[in-house]
Chain A
Amino acid sequence: MITRRLFDFPDFGWRNSFEEMERMRRYLDQVLGQSEAGLRIPAAGVFPLVNLTETKENYMLRAELPGVTAQDLDIQTTGRNITISGERKIEPDPNVRYHRREREPGRFSRAMTLPGDIDREKIEASLENGVLTITIPKSEKARPRQITIKS
């Protein structure tokens, strides 16, 4: 099974370059009046595709997994890594005639490295309408801290 790691970058300074690229892409779309379909290559060609966001306290990892139930999913963490694996089961009905078969069944596994330290004890995962959301609290030392300037 293929697993690929993301975020094997130094923690410092890489995020801004991503944001810059995203901004440029949006700007070009606006100017050219085109959608970016076909221009974007997924960052890692491993199912499932994920979106990662952060708040001050948490990382939020989301993946679209239609038809996958909680029993078919396995989420594990070690250190800063998180692995989502499972299987999407689609039983073909032998008694019917298929006209289209576009939905794919199969197994998947994806490992990711988060950009900061996490509190592994408090990770929460939910599956709603086929979208998996994993809330990963940042460890105390990875949270931003406000620094007051003394006058």
Chain B
Amino acid sequence: MANESQSRDMQVKGKQEVAGAAEQTRPGRVFIPPVDISEDENVITLLADMPGVAPNDVNIDVRENTLTLSGEIKPFEGAEETDILVEYDTGQYYRQFTLPELVDQDKIDAQLKDGVLTLVLPKAEAAKPKKIEIKNN
């Protein structure tokens, strides 16, 4: 099945904008980055597409059980450039998640490569599943 999905032609998906103008304090548009979230016994892994964001301009915040991702982009276009065709808009990225389990906040690992943010959130000891042995008497 993995190979099947790999060979598919990509479809155009418009960027989704954050709903509600009340959230913004700065002008400009704010988009929701698409994410993959996976989980195993020890970590929750989050991958987010944030094209155009430099590694220093991404902000990750975990407070209690809310994870906030935001990324800023700098304008790409030089001052002398005039638009001929605009198919996509650029703007900030913003997305919040409620984490289902306790996360060890000191050990969060973030990496931004080729416009993809990889966030590894280790689960806190208390949140890891413990196997309970059934004793036979």
| Chain A interfacial positions (CB closer than 8 Å to B) | 1-2, 6, 15, 18-19, 22, 35, 37, 40, 42-56, 59-60, 62, 64-69, 87-93, 95-108, 115, 127, 129-131, 133
Cβ–Cβ contact A42 & B2, under 8 A: no
Closest to B47 in A: A103
Given contacts A69-B114, A99-B39, contact A106 B9 (CB under 8 A): yes
CA distance A99 to B67 in the complex (A): 15
Q: A37-B17, A99-B39 are in contact. Are A50 and B12 (CB under 8 A)?
A: no
Q: How many residues of B contact A (CB 8 A)?
A: 46
A53: contacting residue among B10, B81, B112, B114, CB under 8 A: B81
Does B49 lie within 8 Å of A130, measured CB to CB?
Answer: yes
Interface residues in B47-77 by Cβ distance below 8 A to A read: 47, 49-55, 76-77
What residues on B are CB-neighbors of A108 within 8 Å? 9-10
Q: Is the CB of A100 within 8 A of B86?
A: no
CB pair A100–B13 under 8 Å, yes or no, is no
B17 and A105 contacting across the interface, CB-CB below 8 Å? no
A60 to chain B minimum Cβ distance, whole angstroms, is 6
Q: How distant is the Cα of A93 from the Cα of B9 in the complex, in angstroms?
A: 21
Complex: how many Å from CA A106 to CA B126? Answer: 39
Task: Identify which of A53, A66, A89 contacts B82 (C-beta below 8 A).
Answer: A53
Could you list 5 further interchain pairs (A-B, Cβ under 8 angstroms) beyond the known A107-B7, A107-B10? A49-B87, A49-B88, A87-B6, A104-B10, A129-B54
**Cα distance A107–B54 in the bound complex, in angstroms:** 25
20 contacting pairs across A/B (C-beta < 8 A): A18-B85, A37-B17, A42-B87, A48-B12, A51-B83, A53-B84, A56-B80, A60-B81, A89-B6, A98-B36, A99-B39, A100-B35, A103-B47, A105-B8, A106-B8, A108-B10, A129-B114, A130-B50, A131-B76, A131-B115
Neighbouring A residues of B78 by C-beta, 8 Å: 55
